[in-house]
Amino acid sequence: MNKMTIDDIQVKSKRVLVRVDFNVPMENGMVTDDTRIVESLPTIKKILADGGRAILMSHLGRPKGKPKPEFSLAPVAKRTSELLGIGVKFASDCIGEPAKEAVASLKDGECLLLENLRYHNEEEANDENFAKELASLGDVYVNDAFGSAHRAHASTEGVTRFIKPAVAGYLMKKELDYLGKALENPVRPFTAILGGAKVSGKIDVIQNLLNRVDTLIVGGGMAYTFYKAKGLEIGDSLLEQDKIDLAKSLLEEVSKRNIKFLLPVDCVVADKFDNAAQKKTVKVDNIEPGWQGLDIGPETVKLFTDVIAASKTIVWNGPMGVFEMENFAVGTNAVATALASVTKTGAVTIIGGGDSAAAIAKAGLEKAVSHVSTGGGASLEFLEGKILPGVAALTNR
């Protein structure tokens, strides 16, 4: 990575404006999953230990430009205080007098969290004046919010025009190191596993990975559009009718390349979309009308897990079935277990955020793989080969 990081700057007695991704799940005014806060603690602790004044800013939910109590970051400040073991101050706004006064009162080694950036429409509009106001609160800028790096917002891109240097925090660096090395210089064999509901959401990823992987595995709901493209009966399984021709062209493209392209060979079908539905395992060319595929079958589990076991770099983005329903989570859990197992033998295993991150956490294996991305949309765009505005805006070395 040719961008400056937090290790390249001195922060003592400086106001360090830090974009974090504290967009965490909340219930009844309490944080229910603090993973994203925990992931940014190394960056915050480094600033505080070096005598910097940490000014944290984040969005939470979609308040649509208006202050709404249910989207306040105040409970997040409380949880961050508990995790850091020191009091985290809280400003009732991210700009204006409340923010200026809170920043002015900070001493070396102290931490402040600003109120939700998205209480102002100017944040998502990347408004220049808003970005300038945010920038005025700091002497240096650190972006540790990989989960928001694919958005050119005021706090991720606009602010860097008015405050230099703009550097990556430890979480941002870790994300870019893992994903970047996987794409640019993977230890081979390199396998990508793509799942989830729709082909349309993964087209660019597939096309980018075709040039890079040794094996491309496709499972989940998106597989059925490929079957339809092959002329198979898929019953009531998920189908993107308008993507059949695209699936055909992707299959033709794959056949010309020296890579393995694996689709499920059997699947678990159900007579309705319900955990308690009647279910059975069938070959993929034997799906009857009225039935829908909701998971991969045992033969496919063996096929996929054998490939995983023989790989040295694996990127996984998207579940193999409806993992939220226990009866259709077998395939997704098997992939998670196989990834945990191959990690022990030295393979690099990267979980691409979103549903995959939720699935591996549900399986209790998030600590057993090399890296779980905190950014679903950002990791997807990175895998598509796109430039992330929040990364591009950082200061080059």
Catalytic residues: 36, 198, 354, 377
Of 372, 359, 271, 249, the residue nearest 314 (C-alpha): 372
Query: Any idea which residue has 């939910």 for tokens?
Result: 61
Q: Which residues contact 123 (CB under 8 A, 6 or more apart)?
A: 59, 117, 130, 153, 154, 155
Q: Which residues contact 129 (CB under 8 A, 6 or more apart)?
A: 122
What tokens appear for 270 in the block?
């159900």
Beta strand spans in the chain (E): 15-19, 26-27, 30-31, 53-57, 88-90, 111-113, 140-143, 166-168, 190-194, 215-218, 260-262, 266-270, 279-283, 292-296, 313-317, 348-351, 371-372
What's the CA gap between 278 and 48, in Å, rounded? 57
Per the DSSP assignment, residues forming a β-bridge with 350 are: 315, 371
Say if residues 171 and 40 touch (Cβ distance below 8 Å).
Answer: yes
What tokens appear for 119 in the block?
């209480």
What tokens appear for 27 in the block?
């219930």
